[in-house]
Structure 1
Amino acid sequence: MEDNKREAQQIEQFTDVDPLRETYRESITDVPALQKSLERHNTALLCIDLQYLDAARGHGVFADAERSGVPIAAQEYYFDRLEHVVLPNVRRLQDAFRDNRLEVIHTRIQSLTQNGRDRGPGHKRLGLHAAPGSKEAEFIELVAPCGDEIVINKTASGVFNSTNIEYILRNLGITGLVVVGVYSNECVSTAIRDACDLGFYVTLVEDACATVTPELQQATITTMKDRYARVMTTHEIIDEIREVVTDE
């Protein structure tokens, strides 16, 4: 009984404390090289899976709302956040990056084949499939690629472990990534963890990503912040671009 009481007191003591926060912030998420990356045009905006498969009402995994596996209330939360907050903010970020000649890179779920036989095992088990040329593979128009912006197709949650994105980023001289998209707790957070482990300076834009419940959204922010990424708002990123990015 006494042991349980002591444990409860210890848990309460550290509920709002991250003892390693400053160590990670000083070494990983808030280092001078991060702003140097942006200043030298070596930071890219990475837009994850903003497509009809998983980000549009009545399409893809939400084609049959009742059978999607996501409760109707959660769907309403997700799409309300997407339509009124996330997609407009992603577009604002895209415009800011484009205006300053910074790379905008897009990922999407799309198979190499029409029947999806090349998909990763996880996507096969989940029944996730966007065939080339399908509506599900199309990007949401507001945040679709422009010009010759790079599009990377994937058939797994992690873009770094299922595509040649690292090779592409190294070729572009990219050292920093600003990450937006869906779902926050799945493909977005997987990309952030992998990018951080590979040495990229990562920023997660908290009001430009979404998932299906506010609890999962907050858990993602809490887990990523000051461990794998800076966490900033759209407004803060745009202000930083204006302050830091220099003319070439």
Structure 2
Amino acid sequence: MTKTITRDQAYEAGATAILLVDLQKIWLIPGIDPSHPERGPDHYFYRQTATETIPNNERLLAAARENGVEVLHTIIQSLTEDGRDCSLDHKLTPIHIPRSAPEGLPVDSLMPVGDEIMIPKTSSGVFNSTNIDYLLKNLGIKYLIITGIMTDQCVDMAVRDAADRGYLVTCVTDACATATPERHDGALEAFGGYCWLADTDTVIERLKALGKPA
């Protein structure tokens, strides 16, 4: 009898990973992002990420680490100092964060620990410009939990591309953010058919279940 598969089925120990997308200082600390000098500390995006997105990612990271879940981080970062390796889209935008730029690293509370994998990318889609699919398959991952920024850009592409490659995807809705609440809600509605949409508390309970004896 064929087992019924659903997007919200329970995670499996040894086959579950969490991917944090672009939770970098340059995007999350007011006054650093050269693309948006007009955004002050009171801008919606900075208030949302400081009060909800970052704290929820901290909680998810703690739960993942405590319960044996593989943790991966992806950041926008060039492989070169001059950005000659950047994608055409990033050259045109332009987006270039040199390898040596400290602001390109994740915010301190979300930095990788131990041998957690951090993957640089120079496109919106981590599956398009990195070897993440190869890595996830080598790690035996079937369930991929995705968080980060921007909900309607890099998170959107990670969700859709992961689903197309055969992963059961969870998007943690209150651990993602974008420039406006309307854009956030619209993105979740648009790509919700590719994943399980769940909040931080629900996902943490699922992660805790992995650490319990069978």
Decide whether the 8 Å contact of 2:27 with 2:33 is kept in 1.
yes
Of 202, 211, 236, which aligns to 2:202? 236
Residue number in structure 2 paired with 1:178: 145
Residue number in structure 1 paired with 2:155: 188
The 1:222/1:74 distance shift into structure 2, 3 A limit, reads: farther
C-alpha distance in structure 2 between counterparts of 1:150 and 1:197, whole Å: 22
Decide whether the 8 Å contact of 2:30 with 2:40 is kept in 1.
no
Residue number in structure 2 paired with 1:61: 34
Residue number in structure 1 paired with 2:187: 220
Q: TM-score, normalised by structure 2?
A: 0.92
Decide whether the 8 Å contact of 1:183 with 1:211 is kept in 2.
yes
Decide whether the 8 Å contact of 2:66 with 2:211 is kept in 1.
no
1:83-104 CA deviation, whole Å, 9 max, x = no partner? 0000000010000000011111
The 1:244/1:99 distance shift into structure 2, 3 A limit, reads: closer
Once the 2 structures are TM-superposed, how far is the Cα of residue 55 of structure 1 from its aligned partner? 2.0
C-alpha distance in structure 2 between counterparts of 1:40 and 1:161, whole Å: 27
Higher Rg of the two aligned structures: 1
Q: TM-score, normalised by structure 1?
A: 0.80
Once the 2 structures are TM-superposed, how far is the Cα of residue 113 of structure 1 from its aligned partner? 0.6
C-alpha distance in structure 2 between counterparts of 1:182 and 1:102, whole Å: 21
Once the 2 structures are TM-superposed, how far is the Cα of residue 214 of structure 1 from its aligned partner? 0.7
Residue 108 of structure 1 pairs with residue 108 of structure 2: no
Task: Give ranges in structure 2 of 5+ residues lacking alignment.
Answer: none
Structure 1 SS opposite 2:79: coil
Decide whether the 8 Å contact of 2:160 with 2:194 is kept in 1.
yes
Task: Give ranges in structure 1 of 5+ residues lacking alignment.
Answer: 1-25, 67-71
Structure 1 SS opposite 2:27: coil
* Residue type at the aligned position of 2:7: T
* Greater fraction helix: 1
CA RMSD of aligned residues (A): 1.9
Decide whether the 8 Å contact of 1:86 with 1:210 is kept in 2.
yes
Residue number in structure 2 paired with 1:209: 176
Residue 43 of structure 1 pairs with residue 22 of structure 2: no
Residue 143 of structure 1 pairs with residue 114 of structure 2: no
Once the 2 structures are TM-superposed, how far is the Cα of residue 73 of structure 1 from its aligned partner? 7.9
* Residue type at the aligned position of 2:24: Q
The 1:166/1:224 distance shift into structure 2, 3 A limit, reads: same
